[in-house]
Amino acid sequence: MAHSTDKYATRWVSRRVGLTLTCLSIGANALTAGGIFTFPIMSQGLAIHLKLSQPQLTTIVLAGMVGQYPAAAGVGYIVDQYGPWLCSLISAALFSLGFGLFSREIARVPSDTIDTPPFCFESLVFFFLLCGLGTVNSYFSTLFAATKNFPQYSGLAAGLSMSIFGLSPLFLSLIAGKFFVAPGDTLDITRYTCFLAILTGCVHIIGACNLRVYPVLDAEQIIEPRTPDTPTDEETLLIPKSNVCADPKTPLPAVMADINFWVLGAVIAVTIGTSEMVLSNIGTVVLSLPPSVASIPFSQPSSPVAATAIQVRLLSLSNTISRVVVGSLADWISPVGAAVRPRRHHVSRLTFLCFFSLLLAFTYLYTASLVKQQSDLTLVSLGVGTSYGAVFTVLPSFVTAFWGLTNLGRNYGVLSYAPFFFTPVFSYLYAFVSAAHAPAHGVCTGVSCWRLTFQICSAACFGATIASLILWKRWRRRA
C-alpha cells in the first residue's frame, strides 16, 4: 500500500510539473503568435519604401489572415493524431521562415527605389502566407493543449488561451513602438520582422518541448455519483454528467441541408469578414485622416506609427476583454448543454449575436458619417474589437446547440470557410475604393478613401442583425 501511495505521489508531482511547463508554454506561444495582426503598423513603411499600392498591401495581409482558414482542418488532424507539440514545432519553422524571409526581402530593396522591384510583391505575399500558416498552428497548439489538459474546465481553458492570443498584437506593437521606430518616425520593418522570426522561433521550439497532454490520474477522476435517493432541487444537475456528450452523429450532408446552417454562416461571413477588413486596414485608415486637434486621450500621438499602434492596441485589448467577459456572461445567464443547473432567468445566446451584429452596423455607420480625425477612430476600434471577440466566443456554443457536440470540430471548421471567402470580399472592396481615390504611388488621404466601404459594411451588418433575429426566433429555446 505504501509503495502504491509513493508511486501515485511521484506521478502526481510529475504531472503537476509537466502541467506547469505546459501552461507557461501555452501563454508564451499565444502571446507571441499574433505578429500578422501587427501588419497595420508596417503598412506605411511598405507603401513608402516599396511603392506598393493599397490593393497590393491588402493582398499581402490577406495572405496571412485568410491563409489560416483552409489549413484549419489539417492542423486539427495533426493535433488529434500527434498532439499539440508537433503544431508548435511546425509553427516555429513557419514563423522563422516567413518573418525571416520577409525581413530579407525588404532589406535587399534599395531605399531610393522608384518602383516595386520584380517579384518583390509576390514574394512578400508568399512569406506572409507562411506566417499565417504558422499562426493557425500556434493557435491550435495552445487552444487544444489547454482544453485537453483541463477537460473539466474546457470553457475557461479555451477562453483564457484565446484571450492571451488576443493580447498578442498589443504586446508586439508595444515592443515595436519602443525598440523599432527608425529616424523619421517610421517603423524599421527589416529589424522588426527579423526580431519576430527569432522570438517566435525560439518560443515555439520551447513549446514543442513542453506542450504535452497529460492523462488525468485515477484519484482525480472521483465524481460524486447521483443515486435515486439523492434529492433533486434547483441546485442539482438534472442529467448525469456521462450524458453530456451523448448526442447523435449528424452526417455533414444533413447539417448542410439545414437552412439554419446557411443563415448562421451568412451572419458569420458578414460580422467576421467586415471585422477582419478593419483589422487588416486600420493602418491606412489612420493615415488617411489628419492628426487629432482636441486634447483628449489618444489624441495627437507623436507619429503616424504611434497613431496606428494605438488603434492596434485598442483592437487587441477590446477583443481580449470581450472574449473573457462575454464568455463568462454567456455561461452564467445562458447555459448550454445537458448538464446545466436550471435558472429562473435564461437568455438565449443568440441575443449576443443579434446585439453585436447591430453594434457593428452602428459602428460602421458612425465611421462613414462622423469620423473626421484620428482620435475619432477610438470608438471604431473598440466597437470592432469587442464585436469580433464576442462573435468568435459564442460561435462554438451555437454549433453545439444546433447540431450536437460529437462533430463540433467538423461543423465549426466548415463554418470557418464563411470568413475565408468573405474577408477577401470586404478587404478588396476597401482596397479598390481606396485605390480609386489615391494618387499614383501614394497613400490615399481623406474620408472618401473608405466612406463607401463602411456604408456598405453597415448595410451588410444590419442585414446580419435581421438574420440573427430569424435564428433567435427559431432556436431561442435551444441556444
**Mean of the pLDDT values across residues 316-331?**
82
Q: Are residues 210 and 276 in the same domain?
A: no
Residues 50 and 115 in one domain: yes
DSSP character for 423? H
Q: How many domains does the chain have?
A: 2
- Highest mean pLDDT out of 62-76, 140-154, 272-286, 433-447: 272-286
Same structural domain, 254 and 210:
no
**Do 200 and 324 share a domain, yes or no?**
no
Residue 318: count of CB within 10 angstroms of its CB:
21
Per residue in 73-113, pLDDT (tens digit) is 778 778 878 889 999 999 999 999 999 999 999 998 887 67
pLDDT of residue 189 exceeding 80: yes
Residue 66 in any domain: the answer is yes
Residue 33 · residue 162 · CB < 8 Å: no
- Determine, yes or no, domain membership for 15: yes
Same domain, residue pair 155 and 261? no
> Where among 191, 215, 239 does a domain terminate?
215
- In three-state secondary structure terms, 195 is helix
Q: What is the mean pLDDT of the chain?
A: 81
Cell of 108: 535587399
Domain contains 365: yes
Contact 305, 44 (CB under 8 A): yes
**Higher-pLDDT residue of 404, 362:** 362
Structural domain contains residue 9: yes
d(CA 70, CA 172): 26
Domain boundary among 171, 189, 215: 215
Distance CA 201, CA 343 (A): 47
Q: Is 119 inside a domain boundary?
A: yes
Reported as a single tens digit per residue, the pLDDT across 243-301 is: 333 345 667 788 788 888 899 999 999 999 999 999 888 988 998 999 876 544 444 44
180, 270: one domain: no
Lowest mean pLDDT among 69-78, 294-303, 424-433, 468-477: 294-303
209 and 255 share one domain: no
Other Cβ atoms less than 10 A from the Cβ of 252: the count is 12
For residue 170 the three cell numbers come to: 498589443
CB 283 within 8 A of CB 38: no
The answer to whether residues 272 and 379 belong to one domain is yes
> Averaged over 110-134, what is the pLDDT?
86
Residues 286 and 202 in one domain: no
CATH of the domain at 376: 1.20.1250.20
State the SS3 of 444-469: CCCHHHCHHHHHHHHHHHHHHHHHHH
The answer to whether residue 338 sits within a structural domain is no
CA distances 68 to 209, 388, 423, Å, are 24, 16, 12
pTM: predicted TM-score of the whole model, two decimal places: 0.72
| Residue 190 in domain | yes
Q: Which of 164, 192, 215 marks a domain boundary?
A: 215
Spatial distance between the Cα atoms of 227 and 409, rounded to a whole number of angstroms: 33
Sign of the torsion formed by the C-alpha atoms of 307, 308, 314 and 316: negative
Query: Do residues 394 and 353 make contact, with C-beta atoms less than 8 angstroms apart?
Result: yes
Q: Does 381 share its domain with 306?
A: yes
**DSSP 8-class letter at 182:** E
Would you say residue 357 has pLDDT above 80? Answer: yes
The pLDDT score that the predictor gives to residue 248 is 53
- Please check whether residues 200 and 287 belong to one and the same domain: no
Across 395-408, average pLDDT: 70
Nearest Cα to 276, choosing from 169, 122, 394?
169
Q: Does residue 358 form part of some domain?
A: yes
Within 13 A of 74's CA, how many CA atoms are on the CB side? 10
Please list, in sequence order, all residues whose beta carbon lies within 8 angstroms of the beta carbon of residue 149, skipping any fewer than 6 positions away.
19, 22, 157, 213, 214
Find the domain containing 465 and state its range.
250-291+302-333+347-478
For residues 129 and 200, membership in a common domain is answered with yes
